[in-house]
Amino acid sequence: MGSFQSLPDDHQYRTLSQKTGFSLEQIAILHNRFKQLSQNEETLRRDDLKTIQDLESNPIRSQIIEAFFDSRNFQKDGVGSVEEIGFEEFLTVMSYFRAPPQHITEEQREEMRRAKLRFLFNMHDTDNDGTITLEEYRHVVEELLSRSGALGRETAKGIADAAMLEVASISVGPMAPDEFYEGITFEHFLKILNGVEIETRMNIRFLNMDATVLCK
Amino acid sequence: RRRIHYKHEAQTARDCLVLHHLSPMRRRGFHLIPRLSSIVPESCLLIVVGLLVGGLMKLVGEIPPVLESKIFFLYLLPPIILDAGYFLPIRQFTENLGTILMFAVVGTLWNAFFVGGLLYGVCQLEGHRLVTVDLLSCLLFGSIISAVDPVAVLAVFEEIHINELLHILVFGESLLNDAVTVVLYHLFEEYSSVGSITVMDVFLGIVCFLVVSLGGIVVGAIYGILAAFTSRFTSHTRVIEPLFVFVYSYMAYLSAEVFHLSGIMALIACGAVMRPYVEANISHKSHTTIKYFLKMWSSVSDTLIFIFLGVSTVAGPHEWNWTFVMATLIFCLVARVLGVVGLTFVINKFRIVKLTSKDQFIIAYGGLRGAIAFSLVYLLKTEHFPMRNMFLTAIITVIFFTVFVQGMTIRPLVDLLAVKKKQETKRSINEEIHTQFLDHLLTGIEDICGHYGHHHWKDKLNRFNKKYVKKCLIAGERSKEPQLIAFYHKMEMKQAIELVESGGGAKFPSALPSTVSMQNIQPKKPPQDRALPQLSKAREEEIRKILRTNLQRTRQRLRSYNRHTLVADPYEDGWNEILIKRKKMKELEKKMNNYLTVPAPPPDSPTIARARLASDPQAWGLKSVTESIPTIKVDLASPQSPESVNMVDEFGKKGSQSKASKEEEGGLTMKVPSPTNQRKDKTADEDNDKEPQQRLMRCLSDPGPTAEEEDEDEAFLP
């Protein structure tokens, strides 16, 4: 076992706290949860996350799990996916779901918003080419409707197409019949989700967690 | 004695009718003076009108009718509350429920005791007349006046278009504090005859409060479920569907009131519970009817209430006492501000999105009092409360102050403080997709954290709802329809209505500025898929067979419309003519694709064209069928286009029986449009394709009134 395990290493926690913005208590709680999920090992694997029972009924389960192993989300300019992650990466991914503190400037708020939306974008853009193509978008909708049987699958295509048309019309405007819309870039993505207040909605209450009591 | 009673009531009824007829005209006149309406909120003007009418009546010598509490609580208040409850934005409401409850319960209690207690102190200090006012009367008065009034809040807030959070906080508070008011009112009223209260009584009061509020909600929820259940079986009697909604809601209100539970909460619970299920079951026409009736009734009630307030001011017995009235006013304002600030301090510890001081100011400033307080005081008997007239005067003063001063100044203040306003954007399908995605994502993250938070329980409730409740309360296939699909169909229908109303002709709704079509986003396809399919002989034969069977069914219904039919019976005219027309339509449809953001539906069949004409011969000139919209498929007879292959196979067995039941749906069904490319693919490899099973859509009969901005129509727990 490493130095992480027995005593909460204050120095390391402090660096993490500075990096991710979590408080020391929150980091301690999340660390306990990490240890529990990884069965007291140093690293977490996909299978460890798959053991969580509550996730079973989630239609976008695989995408959520993938997001934890996607190096684009580790804020280290990496690409591609990894097989296992350490606590730092785990915490970094979790930090995308922190609430904005009460007193922040407009630029900081915008920063946070962009970071969160980037996380979402990465979840959809699976081949990492910087755009969400029609196929990828269809996949997203199909996954969302994956619990609805045959009816879901057919309409998924129609819904994805309609949504794509909407993005194209909002972002690009009128297009000639032979022009082709490659896919949703990050800027277009920002545009269409302008009405959704991501920085206030994409949050988890990390404050009152007691991992040892509540989790399975 | 009975005759006098009758005379009085008849007089009141007559006056009501007179005012009722005058009020819509007055409203229209009011809107003709736009400058006035931008400065003065409607409620103020209505009160002034009431004052004028009351003054006039007094001059003439007649006794102006007073806002009788019975009429108010039984007839005027329920429509407004039902309108509010039915269109309550559930998502915002539940997200902020904790905050709303804090303001409603703790805030109202604080207000009541602060105002009541301090007034008692003032009365004792003042001496002479006021010293007779005892503590319990003061507390009773405090409890009546402390409640924020939903009618006044609605009237003022509706005009300032404030952001949804603040709107739901103040409005939610005004709705939920009814339980507190009811309990305090009854408590103090009873105890004032007894004389003193003990700790036991306080404890009983708390129990009473829980019973009143939860009981009201339970009663409302039961009636709501009953209404939803009834609506499941109304597919054969569509015209009386709106009636069920109204009747059940009113019964919920009455039942709650009879048992001294909170009627307002019952009504809100009833409306909110029944709405998602009822809307899935009823026809589009019924939905429109319900919406417009609710708006109409609440509008009329609203107007009458304010006018009556004005009239009652002139009429009612007054007893002006400078000290008391001024003290009441000041204490109300101070209590409100202190309460809001103090509570926000506590609440912000538990909120993710904290309330800023701007928010707090608006919440405090939006605490308007209104007609409910007036009616409650009016109900007091002078024998028990000798200072009742003084209370009445004080209440009217406070109401006037809040409605006039606060109501008029809130709009410039909102602009001055640059408070965020309501976003007028239409809800797009992208937002819906990503909102749902986000919900699942957040639930997943909570599960990974091991944290049973807000999203976890919401998800569980949704799943429970989907698995058990929806199956019970929603008829047919719609019970299994996922929310995203429901939203998508709703959007399609809205688009269809808009296109239909624009005549499908030259002008298109400005909401669709795009000229992006399916071709622009589809990946490049091999050239042969783009050509129009040539109809083979075998295909022709199949189509003819389909049409024959189809026509046999529709012939009866449509016989009377035959002279309008453009597309003739294949037996009578040449079949080739029909095919040529259909090809023409397909080409036109390609052009029309540019104007759609939902993919275009397959082109019309003869039955469809006929059916569309049958629905409204006026709206569709004979030209329109050949020239323009193949976009709206209105299919009386067959739920599926006869061009799809499996009609031949399935028609005998499945198609016919499900078709028969669908004909009974009453109204025209609209198909899900599928992309033209998809259709072309299908026609290319027709023999291998299996057309998926019938898709049952919302019934869409004739377009009806303009589809308005329906931002209030949100699905249950989105």
Residue A167 lies in a domain: yes
Fill in the amino acid letter for B107.
G
Are A68 and A158 within one domain?
no
Q: Who among B352, B434, B435 is closest to A99 (CB)?
A: B352
Are A113 and A190 within one domain?
yes
Dist CA A128 CA A136 (whole Å): 11
Dist CA A72 CA A79 (whole Å): 5
Q: Distance, in angstroms, between A108 CA and closest chain B CA?
A: 16
Are A110 and A136 within one domain?
yes
Q: Distance, in angstroms, between A158 CA and closest chain B CA?
A: 6
Cβ neighbours of residue B126 closer than 8 Å, sequence gap 6 or more: B323, B324
pLDDT given at position A160: 84
Predicted confidence (pLDDT) at residue B508 exceeds the cutoff of 80: no
pLDDT tens for each residue of B381-393: 777 777 888 888 8
Dist CA B311 CA B374 (whole Å): 13
In DSSP terms, which residues pair with A85 in a beta bridge? A44
pLDDT given at position B520: 65
Share of chain B above pLDDT 70, in %: 62
pLDDT tens for each residue of A93-102: 888 888 777 7
Q: Which of B89, B443, B423, B78 is CA-nearest to residue B262?
A: B78
pLDDT, mean of residues A46-70: 84
Q: Do A175 and B437 touch (CB under 8 A)?
A: no
Are A83 and A112 within one domain?
no
Flag whether residue B354 sits within 8 Å of chain A, measured between CB atoms. yes
Dist CA B295 CA B246 (whole Å): 13
Return the structure tokens found at B107.
Answer: 């805030």
- Using the CB atoms, write b or e for B192-228: b if 16+ within 10 Å: beeeebeeeeeeebeebbebbbebbbebbbbbbbbbb
For B693, the 3-state DSSP assignment is: coil
Are the C-beta atoms of A49 and B448 separated by less than 8 Å? yes
pLDDT tens for each residue of B171-188: 999 988 888 888 888 888
Return the structure tokens found at B586.
Answer: 């397909």
Flag whether residue B670 sits within 8 Å of chain A, measured between CB atoms. no
Dist CA B204 CA B317 (whole Å): 35
Dist CA B620 CA B643 (whole Å): 24
Dist CA B13 CA B19 (whole Å): 10
Longest C-alpha distance within chain B, in Å? 105
pLDDT given at position B114: 92
Domains of chain B: 69-417 (1.20.1530)
Total residue count of chain B as it appears in this document: 718
Residue B15: pLDDT band with limits 50, 70, 90:
low
pLDDT given at position B221: 93
DSSP labels for A72-110?
GGGTS---SB-SEE-HHHHHHHHHTTPPPPSS--HHHHH
Are A65 and A157 within one domain?
no
Dist CA B675 CA A145 (whole Å): 19
Mutate to test the interface with A, among B94, B347, B360, B434 (most CBs of A within 10 A): B434
Q: Which of A72, A96, A120 is where one domain is finished?
A: A96
Q: Where are the alpha helices (DSSP H) in B283-349?
A: 284-315, 322-347
Return the structure tokens found at B697.
Answer: 């859509």
Question: How many other C-beta atoms are found inside a 10 Å radius of the C-beta of residue A150?
Answer: 9
Mutate to test the interface with B, among A26, A50, A54 (most CBs of B within 10 A): A54
Predicted confidence (pLDDT) at residue B251 exceeds the cutoff of 90: yes
Mutate to test the interface with B, among A25, A151, A199, A215 (most CBs of B within 10 A): A151
- A156-165, B8-17, B271-280, B442-451: the lowest-pLDDT one: B8-17
pLDDT, mean of residues B460-469: 82
Give the alpha-carbon dihedral of B670, B671, B674, B680, to 10 degrees.
-110
Q: Distance, in angstroms, between A110 CA and closest chain B CA?
A: 16
Are A18 and A91 within one domain?
yes
Residue A2 lies in a domain: no
pLDDT tens for each residue of B130-160: 667 778 888 888 999 988 999 889 888 888 8
Residue A4 lies in a domain: no
Q: Which domain holds residue A56?
A: 10-96
Dist CA A97 CA A119 (whole Å): 10
Residue A213 lies in a domain: no
Residue B63: pLDDT band with limits 50, 70, 90:
confident
Q: What is the overall mean pLDDT for chain B?
A: 71
pLDDT given at position B179: 83
Contacts of residue B447 in chain A, CB cutoff 8 Å? 52, 54-55, 58
pLDDT, mean of residues B489-514: 59
Q: Which of A62, A96, A130 is where one domain is finished?
A: A96
Please tell me which residue, A182 or B617, carries the higher pLDDT value.
A182
Predicted confidence (pLDDT) at residue B572 exceeds the cutoff of 70: no
Q: Which of A46, A64, A96 is where one domain is finished?
A: A96
Predicted-complex ipTM score: 0.90
- B109-118, B210-219, B403-412, B429-438: the lowest-pLDDT one: B429-438
Residue B341: pLDDT band with limits 50, 70, 90:
very high
Q: Do A158 and B353 touch (CB under 8 A)?
A: no
Helix orientation angle between B42-60 and B407-416, rounded to the nearest 10 degrees:
160
pLDDT, mean of residues B545-565: 51
Residue A191 lies in a domain: yes
pLDDT given at position B525: 47
Are the C-beta atoms of B279 and B241 separated by less than 8 Å? no
Are the C-beta atoms of B427 and B490 separated by less than 8 Å? no
Predicted confidence (pLDDT) at residue B680 exceeds the cutoff of 80: no
**Domain total in chain A:** 2
Residue A80: pLDDT band with limits 50, 70, 90:
confident
Are A56 and A83 within one domain?
yes
In DSSP terms, which residues pair with B149 in a beta bridge? none
- A125-134, B141-150, B533-542: the lowest-pLDDT one: B533-542
Q: Do A161 and B693 touch (CB under 8 A)?
A: no
Mutate to test the interface with B, among A144, A167, A200 (most CBs of B within 10 A): A144
Contacts of residue A52 in chain B, CB cutoff 8 Å? 447-448
Q: Who among A59, A150, A177 is closest to B692 (CB)?
A: A150
- A158-162, B204-208, B575-579: the lowest-pLDDT one: B575-579
Residue B247: pLDDT band with limits 50, 70, 90:
very high
Predicted confidence (pLDDT) at residue B682 exceeds the cutoff of 50: no
Are A156 and A83 within one domain?
no
Are A35 and A116 within one domain?
no
Are A133 and A175 within one domain?
yes
Cβ neighbours of residue A7 closer than 8 Å, sequence gap 6 or more: none
Residue A211 lies in a domain: no
Rg (CA), chain B: 31
Q: Distance, in angstroms, between B220 CA and closest chain A CA?
A: 31
Cβ neighbours of residue B100 closer than 8 Å, sequence gap 6 or more: B93, B168, B169, B172, B173, B176
Q: Which of B661, B666, B616 is CA-nearest to residue B282?
A: B666
Q: What is the CATH number of the domain that holds A46?
A: 1.10.238.10
Are A88 and A128 within one domain?
no
Dist CA B354 CA B342 (whole Å): 14
Are A90 and A106 within one domain?
no
